[in-house]
Amino acid sequence: MLSQADNDALCRIGPGTLMGNFFREYWLPALQTYEVPEPDCPPVRIKLLGEELIAFRDTTGAVGLIDNNCPHRRASLFFGRNEESGIRCVYHGWKFDVNGDCVDMPSEPAESNFKDKVKIKSYPTHERNGVIWAYMGPREIPPALPELEGNMHEACFITVLFRNNNWMQGIEGEIDTIHASILHGGHLQPSQLQPGSFAYYQAKNKDGRFKVKETPVGNSYGMYRVAEEDSYYWRIGHYLFPCFAMPPVPTLGREARFLAYVPMDDEHTLEWSIGVREDDGLAVAARQGREYHNNGTGWYDRYVIEQNWDNDFEIDREAQRTMKSWSGITGIRQQDMAMTEGMGTILDRTSEHLGTTDQMIIRTRRKLLAAARALAEDGTPPPGVENPQDYHLRSGQVILPRKADWWEETRDRIERFEAWR
């Protein structure tokens, strides 16, 4: 259970909040390359950490991320003309470059130097293999990008999903690995599955025990359950500051992928999945069952799927009743969304009853709050910001002898990193 004050501290990410300041120390995925596909293309509305921003690609190909509102009389730059290396407000023609400098002010007399004194809020961006990252923090020179292997190969696949709840609910859903055999696989019988497979052991035993290990950049877990007389089936995954996770989807070591739960504001999140896998079936699997809305241009129109809260995720009660599907909801992600959105947009953590299998969640909340407070109280640099290589991790499933030390035994697979660039 968390106090109301701690719950607020954890969830609120607007400017000036404890967690908002913490988040702003990190690079975050803001949009995809294809959203601003070519020089001088139409600008895009981006909601990020509670701020309304406009992304545009200028004539040279550089990506700008600036305040939505023009500093003159606050018209929206979404309507701006993106031309000749800058975006021009259509109201009185003031023009800004990707650095936020005002480069033209046709409404003022030619001899005025007012233009040199005006800036629009702008944030540095960095484009890496299809992802445009943003740094919204205080450092004059931004830190290096986190070395998240999943985004360090030019062939990485990217999927994004709009989630109608606070970012922390998303992250907690990711590290709550025990639910996989119930919510996602409760209808599966061992007799339908290949003996000795991960799915088989998942179906055979629904309970599990957790080991949690601190890493320099977050917490890792190993959840294990009985496999055979002399072995355990392990699910090994990671939480990484501030909003990254690596879930145990593949065979351990076979995939480099991460998820990012990037706060749009306190009540809306974009879930990013970015990675590469040795066999490339995952890109297809990740999108299965998702029909995207014909996305509009509004703040909350990006990456919304047809199956959503407003239609109860198209739950099929007959499929639920006949055990064709445990939940009656099609799609793993859609099942997750129904659970996290059903908690309310900001989960009330004062009313929970957490059990032994929730210890990864409990320790991650504590670690996050402690790191955010250390930054606020004495400027302790947030974990990982100055050590981008701390993100070199992989997750996955594995069968180990019962007496094996889960971390030592699998370390070469967990820490396997191939510097694709």
Q: Which residues bind ligand FES (CB under 6 A)?
A: 70, 72-73, 75, 89, 91-94
CB 398 within 8 A of CB 252: yes
Q: Residue 336: name its binding partner from ligand FES, Fe ion, none (Cβ under 5 to 8 Å by kind).
A: Fe ion
> What is the closest distance, in whole angstroms, from the C-beta atom of residue 381 to ligand FES in the complex?
38
Centre a 10 Å sphere on the Cβ of residue 203 and count the other Cβ atoms it contains: 19
> Beta strand pairing status for 63-67 and 81-82?
unpaired
Residue 283 C-beta: closest distance to ligand FES, Å: 42
Measured from the CB atom, the residue of 34 and 114 that comes closer to ligand FES is: 114
The secondary structure of 372-398 as a DSSP string is: HHHHHHH-PPPTTSS-GGGG----EEE
Least distance between ligand FES and beta carbon 109 (Å): 15
Look at residue 91 and give the partner it binds from Fe ion, ligand FES, none, a contact being a CB closer than 5 to 8 Å depending on partner kind. ligand FES
Pick the closer one to Fe ion by CB: 184 or 365: 184
CB of 88 to ligand FES, least distance (A): 8
Q: How far is the CB of 215 from ligand FES (least distance, A)?
A: 47
Query: Sign of torsion, CA 316 318 320 325?
Result: negative
List Cα–Cα distances, 316 to 54, 161, 181, 349, in angstroms: 39, 22, 20, 30
Closest to Fe ion by CB, 97 vs 174, is 174
201 binds, among Fe ion, ligand FES, none (CB under 5 to 8 A by kind): none
Distance CA 136, CA 404 (A): 43
User: For tokens 């009540």, what's the residue?
Assistant: 267
- For residue 217, count CB atoms less than 10 angstroms from its CB and return exposed for 0-12, middle for 13-18, buried for 19 or more: buried
- CB 37 → ligand FES: shortest distance, Å? 26
Q: How far is the CB of 90 from ligand FES (least distance, A)?
A: 8
- Residue closer to Fe ion, measured from CB, 58 or 172: 172
- Partner in contact with 204, chosen from Fe ion, ligand FES, none, beta carbon below 5 to 8 Å by kind: none
The item of Fe ion, ligand FES, none sharing an interface with residue 420, based on CB under 5 to 8 Å by kind, is none
d(CA 51, CA 67): 8
Furthest CA-CA distance within the chain: 86
Judge whether 313 and 329 are in contact, CB under 8 Å: yes
**Full DSSP string of 51-117:** EEEEEEE-TTSPEEEEESB-TTT--BGGG-EE-SSSEE-TTT--EE-TTSBEEE-TTS-TT--GGGG
